[in-house]
A = this chain, B = another copy of it.
Amino acid sequence: MHTPPAPSANDWSPEEFRSYCQQVSDWIAGYLAGLRSYPVLSPVQPGQIKSALPASPPASPEPFAQILVDFERVILPGITHWNHPRFFAYFSITGSGPGILGELLAAALNVNAMLWKTSPAATEMEEVVLDWLRQMLRLPEAFRGVINDTASVSSLCAMAAAREAAGLQVRDKGLSGRQGLPRLCMYTSEQAHSSIEKAAIVLGIGQQGLRKIPCDHHYRMDVEALAQAIRHDIAAGYRPLCVIATIGTTSTTSVDPVAAIAELCAAHGLWLHVDAAYAGVTAMLPEKRDLFTGWEQADSIVVNPHKWLFTPIDCSVLFCRRPDVLRQAFSLTPEYLRTAEQDQVVNLMDYGVSLGRRFRSLKLWMVMRSLGTSGIAAVLRQHMSYAHRLGDLIAAHPQIELVTPVWFSTVVFRFRPPAVPEETVNALNARLLETVNHTGAVMLSHTVLRGQYALRLAIGNLRTTWEDVELAWRTVQEQAEKLTTADLG
């Protein structure tokens, strides 16, 4: 039994901590080993978890054993298992062993890395590990990294820096009601992630100020259309600020022609931000380097270790070639945060929105050391080889077709039985996704491309094997077959 807190022993004793932590550790070891026995997608109904939890907080302390029991009994059925080797939805991610223990240590230290002084190791570790990552991705030395929670925030910061770089005194004077300040605009492709549009809203650029440039047949930004849009906007009195290109878009993992975009940006003095949140890690592989041509000319790049670098969520890295501008956009030092050494050190609070900062670099350090760059490269190649192998199987299938090429580790496909009229194919595919996910064996997600509903299977979990991918493929075929028989046969 847990003893209610006494005045001088509010927290657990070391023995209690050790015992409870061991219970949790055993549970996790079993969970990770047994993940394949769970349905990937939680089968609960809306409101089910809520109704199983007490409506009010407990007045008295409750024993930890009871909390763990409720975790398993009430919470676990409502979990969609992102750490499952057959979670293939959105982008597949991994809470790896070393990453999980990195989070455990960070929570125990509980430092706030806002200032160098408030934990020199957390700041210097972040600098060192992100420089490791920079070297691994073969980015020039000028790029400095900083960790944010998510790519949404990393891109917001990059776009704020772009706004600042224009020399319009936005930081000081704001944007509205200013004589002579034109409408501002930014450019991205119609396939860009929704976080880019959200950032444009937050920054006061507005949805109208974000131009969504059309794409070519492979969903890559059309550079000629971009050039025209910029020229048109300038002629119409707009002030273009930046272009956001994507290496690995969300729907299809397509890759914008970054080199050509960089050239345009240079010609017009625009900031270039590259969203490589998912695919950026593959820049370490010589055979993928051609997809990254020109990204070294970007002003900023986002790469998320919590996506395809086996690090638990959250950990998003913003690399910036002009950290001085990022600092200029965000730095504010009230008296209570001034320190004697502030001119000799980096205070990471100066490079983003949040003052408080968890010790996120610790888990990344533990993951990079545990796997080594060779281990990381091997896993990335493994995932991509699975994706290509699956792509080949789909290409050879009479009724299921690939919708886009396999660029990295995500496969986009569509059930297209010849007998079915085109107008019902979308509904059929939506039903297929639903039935596949309801088996619990795997989880996929979807997108719509030029009006066509398509399924996405993204490979990225450290524990995924070819057998897992094969099971997914078998499930898709079985469910497709059933649908055909039941609904169309």
Contact = CB atoms under 8 A, between A and B. Distances in A.
Find the residue from A11, A106, A181 having the highest chain B CB count within 10 A: A11
Given A11-B463, A83-B110, A195 B64 contact: no
A447 interface: yes
B12 A109 contact: no
Interface stretch (A289-297, A327-335, A471-479): A327-335
A226 interface: no
Given A25-B21, A174-B204, A93 B110 contact: yes
A77 to B, nearest CB: 7
Interface string A3-22: 01101101111111110111
A433 B52 CA distance: 51
B8 A18 contact: no
A24 B101 contact: yes
Contacts of A62: 369-370, 372
Interface in A367-386: 368-375, 378-379, 382
Contacts of A156: 202, 353
Given A10-B463, A30-B14, A80 B111 contact: yes
A434 B57 CA distance: 43
A398 interface: no
Given A79-B122, A173-B208, A337 B194 contact: yes
Contact of A32 (B29, B89, B108, B332): B108
Contact of A17 (B5, B97, B206, B446): B97
Given A77-B121, A366-B67, A382-B7, A107 B95 contact: yes
A336 B445 contact: yes
Contacts of A25: 17-18, 21-22, 25, 104
A118 B82 contact: yes
Interface string A192-203: 011101111111
A207 to B, nearest CB: 5
B373 A59 contact: yes
Nearest to A456: B336
A2 to B, nearest CB: 7
Interface residues of A, number: 181
B336 A175 contact: no
Given A58-B368, A79-B121, A94-B110, A379 B5 contact: yes
Interface in A383-439: 434
Contacts of A55: 128, 131
A42 to B, nearest CB: 5
A358 B117 contact: no
A116 B49 CA distance: 11
Nearest to A100: B107
A112 interface: yes
Interface string A343-362: 01100000001111010001
A266 interface: no
Interface string A267-311: 000000000000000000000000000000000000000100010
A127 interface: yes
A462 B7 CA distance: 10
Interface stretch (A145-153, A216-224, A255-263): A145-153
A94 to B, nearest CB: 7
Interface string A42-67: 10101111100101111111101011
Given A170-B204, A379-B5, A335 B447 contact: yes
Given A32-B108, A336-B447, A336-B456, 13 more contacts: A4-B372, A5-B378, A44-B120, A67-B365, A78-B121, A83-B108, A83-B109, A94-B110, A100-B107, A152-B353, A170-B204, A172-B206, A175-B204
